[in-house]
Chains A and B, each alone.
Chain A
Amino acid sequence: MGDSGTRLAVDPNDRVTIGISFGNSNSSIAHLVDDKAEVIANEDGDRQIPTILSYVDGDEYYGQQAKNFLVRNPTNTIAYFRDFLGKEFKSIDPTHNHASAHPQESGETVAFTVKDKAAAEGEEEEEEPAPSTLTVSEVATRYLRRLVGAASEYLGKKVTSAVITVPTNFGEKQRAALIAAAAAADLEVLQLISEPVAAVLAYDARPEAQISDKMQVVADLGGTRSDVAIVASRGGMYTVLATAHDYEFTGVALDKVLMDHFAKEFLKKNPKAKDPRETPRSLAKLRLEAEATKRALSRGTNAAFSVESLSDGIDFATTINRLRYETLARTVFEGINRLVESVVKKAGLDVLDIDEVVLVGGTAHTPRIAANLGFLFPQTTRILAPATDTSAINPSELQARGAALQASLICDYDPEDIEQSTHAAVTTVPHVANAIGIVSPGPSGEEVFVPIIPTDTAVPARRTVQLSVPAGGDVLVKVVEGNTHIKVTKPEPAAKENGESKAAKVEDADEDADEDDSDFSDEEEEEEEEKREKVWKIGSTLAEAAVRGVKKDGKVEVSITVYADLTVVVTARELGGKSAVRGTLPSA
């Protein structure tokens, strides 16, 4: 792992392990029940536990209770601190801490000043206890301690060790700081794993899942950030090909859309009242309720918004329907689509190359976001989100589940073993840039490429396929390299006049949509779209082999192995036959 710094080591025999998703907004804890990962509800019954601590009269609150104190006790409430771990003050974004304890510079690190102590007994009541300045590491330690406490209570035994998920751009210093913070909370970090990969593992570990080669987009849409990764999933091994981190098109941005909407509505009804966005307490109420309304809109097509004494002592209750919300939030939704599309491009891929889109994070519950991503990709691409796939796993639970699964896989490893297994010398391996496959005669006699080992597969790798031989007899196994390109067929150019009027219509439709609640898609436009297909191109030939005397309607099994030094071994045999043809191709 290479994460230097203080770490705790526990004897593998004494370990009690969990998986932790330690988010900037919310965290989760999970453990394994009969090989199945399950997310644990804390004592409040929450599975998404806000990553927030709050101090009131010397008592420490965490999670949802702490979050609720953002209204009445913001200055002693610490939120959105995870991303500050291991960072210097000059390189942190304090935007989201504005309505709670503010981060401040403290030596090489970031700290918060809160009153976390009760007035000492016997002292005079007016005398306030001195506030404490807590480094972000200390805050993380205290928070992790609460998570571990909740898990230990649930499991009935002291949790000793965990796998924790972190963003792909969590640097070495941040990792070290997190491990140290955990150690201070008496928690052994078995391994830090990437958030998107944890999510992918959670899907692949389902009993019904079949290990296959697929190209995945993992879109982790959280509260303060949207992280997208392209994952080449090859025989159950994962390689991240590209990532992007966005801090604009996020859950918080969606809250903001609703906050502005409800504030305006409130002001329309109460023209004399003070704008609730202008007083911190009103703003906090507005924010909490707007977020609740937003979540409700993921479940139902209508949601209530109701706040007692929103501003100037005036209660405010109203409702909003989903279409209205989707119209208001369109800019954010479209930004998410563009973000996803840009990462696909960054990986050198096309949307046609993507087999699955895994939606992760709280914001991934939003039906419109899942639907919009569906429009971005071809019909054959699976969009794994609750709104688009009934078999989808709760996007808020994926990371913790993945972490719990990984924890169970390595809970018997001693630290040295984990260190060596995750060593860069083991993880850094050649990945083939071209696909390797064989040639099959197409319907009109042309040569068709049949991929066997796809691009971006780590070596060593072995794949086996079975092909049919309907006529029987002697057949040729021609092993070749292959690559895809995108074939674009332009639509028949419409008559000029016709085309113009159509273009005009499309523009009109766009303008309407600004005011209109409905209709995001545009049939007119679809009609005009060019046709894009992924086409395999056959590259250089690697080998030819003959399988002779195959039975009529027989099957031939071809197996290709690429070794770590890029040597290729090809074997081919008739299924059920005795002798195999076999050859070795040294790396060129």
Chain B
Amino acid sequence: MDATVISLPLPALPEGWEAEKDFRAIGGITKSSATARTLEPVGPHFLAHARRARHKRTFSEDDRIQAQERAKKIEENEDSDISEPEDPILLQRDAKDWKTQDHYKVLGLSKYRWRATEEQIKRAHRKKVLKHHPDKKAAAGRADDDNFFKCIQKATEILLDPVKRRQFDSVDEEADVEPPTKKQLAKGNYYKLWGNVFKSEARFSKIHPVPSFGDENSTKEEVENFYNFWYNFDSWRSFEYLDEDVPDDNENRDQKRHMERKNANARKKKKAEDNARLRKLLDDAAAGDERIKRFRQEANAAKHKKRLEREAAERAAAEEARRKKEEEERLAKEAEEKAKAEREAAKKAKEAAKNAVKKNKRVLRGSVKDANYFVEGDASAATIDAVLGDVELIQGRIDADEIAALATKLAGLKVVDEIKGVWKGEIERLLAAGKLKDGEIKALSS
């Protein structure tokens, strides 16, 4: 073959790619990823291949057998899996009675039923034809025996027509798996027994895949999924196969219409019954489904556990609150007591300070008295008043500490000038500090 031009680019060589002679072998084709198949010995290209392959070699019969054994087989054996003993009663069936005929059994496919593939049906049909064709019976001296052959033809006609086959499969009771009885269930195998029922019912589903019933190990999600799917089952099952015959002559138009209506109603009714039947199956399966019980218990236990946890948490929270409150109360009390003590101490200190001030003030007043109000002889009432007025003024301008300091300086002084000196000093200090203004002090400053 010539080179094929592909309109696609090659990737750029990655940075730093190196290999000896620019080629890096990484893998190879494994023997297992090649299949021995048979080439058709036809056409010029094959003949070219054969020339190369033979190349002065001669192949023997053994080579052939070996090669043929290696090659993957394409054609399957005509008569294969389908072999079921034929029921003599079945062979006597009247072909006209095809409506009640078990088409699968007629073809020897009872094992398969709705599971039979189209190819299986065709092969089964062929096998039956080979055996039961009337011309074969005629050859065996049994002329005109084509009754069972007609049964075969009818069965094939129905099973190879997808629409008709569904109609038949809809009413093929042989394919039904009856729900398990209490007795059967008592022996265990709950999931297997019901599982088979639903496996069989699943054939009617429009939607695939159909969730299976599962077993005791199925998860909650799987079980819920199963019941959800099946309680909303979308079924193609229909019941026209059970229709009563509608007369097909033109004379009986009314009769015909009547029959058609009757059939339509019957179909509807059967469909409704079937839906109810499936619902009941599900109800029954669910009723005894230990998994549901278990999941409920587990859910309950989980709920219960949550409640206990919640209660414990509540209790703990209450305890905590109480503890906190007590602590707060204790602290408040302590604080209060402390504050009270402090208040009392402060009160005492204040009293003491007050007393000290009183005492100091007395010292201050005493000092001027001791100095005879800084006059010779008896001091006049006016002088006394003026001097004490100044003392009062100064006391008013200075705080307790200054008063105490002043009192300390004055204490024990008896000499008039010394006393006067201290006062003068104090007055100057206060003037300097701006606490007294010039001229405010009259008597003491003279």
Contact = CB atoms under 8 A, between A and B. Distances in A.
Instruction: Tell me the dominant secondary structure on chain B's binding face.
Output: mixed
Contacts of B10: 438, 440, 467-469, 475-477, 547, 556
Contacts of A91: 78-79, 130
B67 A427 contact: yes
Contacts of B22: 545-548, 581
Nearest to A268: B250
Contacts of B138: 102
B67 A424 contact: yes
Given A421-B41, A473-B12, A248 B139 contact: no
A562 B118 CA distance: 40
A468 B19 contact: no
A296 B29 CA distance: 54
B135 interface: yes
Contacts of A582: 23
Contacts of B31: 566, 587-588
Interface string A431-451: 111101011110000001010
Contacts of A432: 29, 33-34
A418 to B, nearest CB: 9
A474 B18 CA distance: 12
A562 B29 contact: yes
A351 interface: no
B35 A467 contact: no
Contacts of A568: 28-29
Contacts of B6: 440, 450, 465-467
Nearest to B33: A433
B27 A588 contact: yes
Given A425-B59, A466-B3, A244 B67 contact: no
Contact of A2 (B4, B44, B64, B78): B64
Interface string A233-251: 0011111111110111000
Contacts of B75: 168-169, 243
Interface in A211-257: 211-212, 231, 235-244, 246-248
Given A240-B40, A240-B74, A587-B31, A581 B63 contact: no
A334 B162 CA distance: 9
A94 B132 CA distance: 10
Contact of B74 (A241, A471, A544): A241
B45 interface: yes
B133 to A, nearest CB: 5
A496 B233 CA distance: 15
B119 interface: yes
Given A456-B37, A467-B10, A422 B4 contact: no
A544 B19 CA distance: 9
Contacts of B28: 542, 566-568, 585-588
Nearest to A563: B29
A584 interface: yes
Interface stretch (B48-56, B169-177, B404-412, B416-424): B48-56
Nearest to A405: B43
A112 to B, nearest CB: 12
Contact of A588 (B24, B30, B66): B30
Interface residues of B, number: 79
A235 B126 CA distance: 38
A469 B59 contact: no
Interface string A76-101: 00000000000001111111011000
Contact of A238 (B5, B29, B39, B53): B39
A426 B14 contact: no
Contact of A93 (B44, B129, B162): B129
B341 interface: no
Contacts of A21: none
Interface string B137-158: 0110000000000000000100
Interface stretch (A192-200, A282-290, A380-388, A525-533): A192-200
Nearest to B70: A428
B11 interface: yes
A105 interface: yes
Nearest to A471: B12
Contacts of A422: 41, 50
Contacts of A211: 1, 45
A425 B43 contact: no
B13 A566 contact: no
A195 to B, nearest CB: 11
Contact of A246 (B29, B122, B156): B122
A247 B64 CA distance: 32
A547 B11 CA distance: 11
B41 A427 contact: yes
A557 B3 contact: yes
Contacts of A426: 39, 41, 49-50, 53-54, 59
Contacts of B392: none
B184 interface: no
B38 interface: yes
Given A476-B14, A541-B27, A409 B8 contact: no
A93 B26 CA distance: 57
A423 B63 contact: yes
Given A197-B42, A475-B11, A463 B74 contact: no
B4 A463 contact: yes
B9 interface: yes
A458 interface: yes
Given A94-B136, A248-B156, A239 B38 contact: yes
B125 interface: yes
Given A338-B118, A566-B34, A468 B43 contact: no
A236 B12 contact: no
Given A241-B74, A431-B34, A566-B31, A105 B139 contact: yes
A399 to B, nearest CB: 12
A587 B29 CA distance: 5
A441 B59 CA distance: 48
A58 interface: no
B70 A93 contact: no
A476 B17 contact: yes
Nearest to B129: A93
B25 interface: yes
Contacts of B139: 89, 102, 104-105
Contacts of A236: 1, 43-46
Interface of A: 1-2, 89-95, 97-98, 102-105, 168-169, 191, 193-194, 197-198, 201, 204-205, 211-212, 231, 235-244, 246-248, 331, 334-335, 338-339, 342, 402, 405-406, 409-410, 420-434, 436, 438-441, 448, 450, 456, 458-460, 462-471, 473-478, 481, 540-548, 556-557, 559, 562, 564, 566-568, 570, 581-588
20 contacts: A204-B43, A237-B39, A240-B40, A248-B160, A425-B63, A427-B41, A429-B36, A430-B34, A432-B29, A433-B35, A450-B6, A468-B9, A543-B26, A544-B23, A545-B22, A581-B23, A583-B21, A585-B25, A585-B28, A587-B30
Interface of B: 1-14, 17, 19, 21-31, 33-47, 49-54, 58-59, 63-68, 70-71, 74-75, 78-79, 118-119, 122, 125-126, 129-131, 133, 135-136, 138-139, 156, 160-162
Given A93-B129, A429-B53, A546-B13, 16 more contacts: A91-B130, A94-B133, A168-B74, A239-B40, A248-B122, A338-B162, A423-B64, A425-B53, A428-B68, A441-B9, A450-B8, A458-B39, A466-B5, A542-B25, A545-B19, A564-B53
